[in-house]
Amino acid sequence: MNNPSHTLPTPAALAPTGLNERSEWLDALRGFALLGILLANIVAFSGYAFMGPDAKAALPWNGADGVLNYLEHALIEAKFYSLFSFLFGLGFAVQLQRAEARGGDFKAVFRRRMGWLLAFGLAHAIFIWFGDILNFYALMGFALLLFRKTSARALLGWAIFFLTAPVWLYAAYLGFAQMAQAAPIAPPETTAGMQRIIDNYAHGGYPDVLESNTLIYVFAWVRRIYRFQLLRIFGMFLLGAWAGKIGLLAARDALRPMLKRWLVLGFAIGLPMNLAFAAIGGNDALVPASLTGLLSITLGSVGIPLLSLGYAAMFALYWRKTRGSGNLFVASGRMALTHYLSQSVVCVMLFYGIGFGMFQQASIGVSLLFALAVWLALALLCRAWLKRGAFGPMEALWRRLSYGPAQRTQNSGAVRAPDAVL
């Protein structure tokens, strides 16, 4: 008969974070990132991104579009999904540290969270909007588990490797193209069938939208691959994991000198690099292979992460505790998954033919105003919701699916694990 005193202890059940364990500045930064993501995505939601120069010139109230389009590319595009990627990695590191300190089964819970995030992302991409980012985060979240025992120094090295890898890969691509004297390759967006996809969004019914979402989802993967966005996302994951491992969340004041360096690097170096990146065409300069494309990928691979860290440093340095979810940034950040998915629902209904039919009818200036209005309206709804409940509807569902019984035993000794970024 076994002696009970010699039996192995059962790992503690993990439970999600309580409100008293959340970091307000991090929630606020997440809400700010949601605003930037919507400002970047609105050009696709509105159909502006799919229009030619003549069609754009014919839009009403387009006088400032040239300047706004440039500033959108320089200050917003790619900066905020990079920021969100950093936050994702930071959340991963904090989860891992707390789970290890308290003996919880971190891997099983994290895999469930990523599995359900992947399911949410695929459903979002097919049934609502093709530009979903959740499925990419989920797939790379699984890969992040491979780095859970990596030291802080090694994490930083791997982050730099993944962030700079696009430069070396593009240089190899350019060298191969020149040796082979290959004919220029048109970007995937110009291939046959795109006009049908656009027409479905502009004038079709819901089955047509589903068809276009399914077709363009493939384009979305190709686009992110040839723009090296997946490498940048994973590099920012690892950079966030490094920041979490060195204690950024708990020791923000002690790390102020580092954060001040981030701020200086972000705005003194990252900002000019992004202004130059946008001036020479940004990602549009990558295909066909050229020296301009090599310069563009270099500016983007260094400048985008630096400016994203500059944005993060602003909140980490200067955010002062307010009234919690009464602040719109904080409320949005605490309901990030709900807010993100709601952005898509509202914008699809606003611009597509199944809704108000404004697809390719709004200049970039008008589109950006719509984006600000949508974010503000959703932020107000988030604040109102949090007055009645602790979590948003999608957050509550994700928690229940991920944690199972631990969700119902938060107050009975279960080990708490912080939510992931979304």
Q: 324-366, pLDDT tens digit by residue?
A: 678 999 999 999 999 999 999 999 999 999 999 999 999 999 9
Q: What is the pLDDT of residue 187?
A: 52
pLDDT at 98 over 90: no
**Could you report the per-residue pLDDT of 140-174, keeping only the tens digit for each?**
999 999 999 999 999 999 999 999 999 999 999 99
- The alpha carbon of residue 359 and the mean position of all alpha carbons in its chain are separated, in whole angstroms, by 24
Whether 277 contacts 146, CB under 8 Å: no
Q: What is the dihedral of CA 98, 100, 111, 132, to 10 degrees?
A: 30
* Residue keyed to tokens 């291939």: 191
Q: Which residues have CB under 8 Å from 98's CB, separation 6+?
A: 104, 415, 416, 417, 418
Token representation of residue 25: 């500045």
The predicted model gives 87-101 an average pLDDT of 87
Nearest partner of 308 among 203, 383, 237, 407, judged by Cα: 237
Where residue 11 falls among pLDDT bands split at 50, 70, 90? very low
pLDDT at 42: 97
Report the C-alpha gap between 338 and 124 in whole angstroms. Answer: 12
Q: What pLDDT was estimated at residue 153?
A: 96
CB 39 within 8 A of CB 368: yes
**Tens digits of residue pLDDT in 397-418:** 999 998 875 554 444 444 344 4
Whole-number pLDDT of residue 422: 58
Q: Please tell me the predicted confidence (pLDDT) of residue 102.
A: 74
Q: Residue 13: which pLDDT band, with cuts at 50, 70 and 90?
A: very low
Higher pLDDT, 20 or 240: 240
Per-residue confidence (pLDDT) for residue 48, from 0 to 100: 96
Cβ contact 391:399 at 8 Å: yes
* Rounded mean pLDDT, 33-49: 96
Name the token pair of 395. 């957050």
Which range has the worst mean pLDDT, 77-81, 98-102, 384-388?
98-102
Give the pLDDT confidence of 200-211 residue by residue, as tens digits. Answer: 999 999 999 999
Nearest to 173 by CA among 260, 319, 59, 289: 289
Res 57 pLDDT > 80 = yes
Would you say the pTM of this structure is higher than 0.75? yes
Residue 222's pLDDT is what?
84
Alpha-carbon gap, residue 274 to 84, rounded angstroms: 18
Average pLDDT over residues 371-388: 96
The H-or-E segment that residue 193 falls in is none
First-to-last CA distance in the chain?
48
> Of 78-82, 100-104, 380-384, 386-390, which gets the smallest average pLDDT?
100-104
pLDDT of 185 above 80: no
* Residue 12 backbone dihedrals phi, psi, to 5 degrees: -65, 145
Residue 374 has pLDDT above 50, yes or no: yes
Cα dist. 231→51, 83, 158, 227, 360 in Å?
28, 14, 11, 9, 31
Per the CB < 8 A criterion, the answer to whether 147 and 155 are in contact is yes
Integer Cα distance of 242 and 312 in angstroms: 14
Is the per-residue pLDDT at 263 higher than 90?
Answer: yes
Average pLDDT over residues 10-16: 44
Supply the pLDDT for residue 253: 86
Q: What is the pLDDT of residue 323?
A: 64
User: Is it the case that residue 216 has pLDDT exceeding 70?
Assistant: yes
pLDDT band at 277 (very low <50, low <70, confident <90, very high): very high
- Which has the closest alpha carbon to 14: 410, 421, 411? 410
Model pLDDT for residues 228-257, shown as the tens digit of each residue:
899 999 999 999 999 999 999 888 888 999
**How confident is residue 18, by pLDDT bands cut at 50, 70 and 90?**
very low
Residue 100 confidence class, pLDDT cut points 50, 70, 90: confident
Q: With contact defined as beta carbons under 8 Å apart, do 238 and 148 qualify?
A: no
Q: Quote the pLDDT of residue 356.
A: 96
State the Cα angle at 101 between 99 and 106, rounded to 5°: 20
According to the model, what pLDDT value does residue 412 have?
Answer: 40
On average, the pLDDT of the chain sits at 87
Mean pLDDT of 184-212: 80
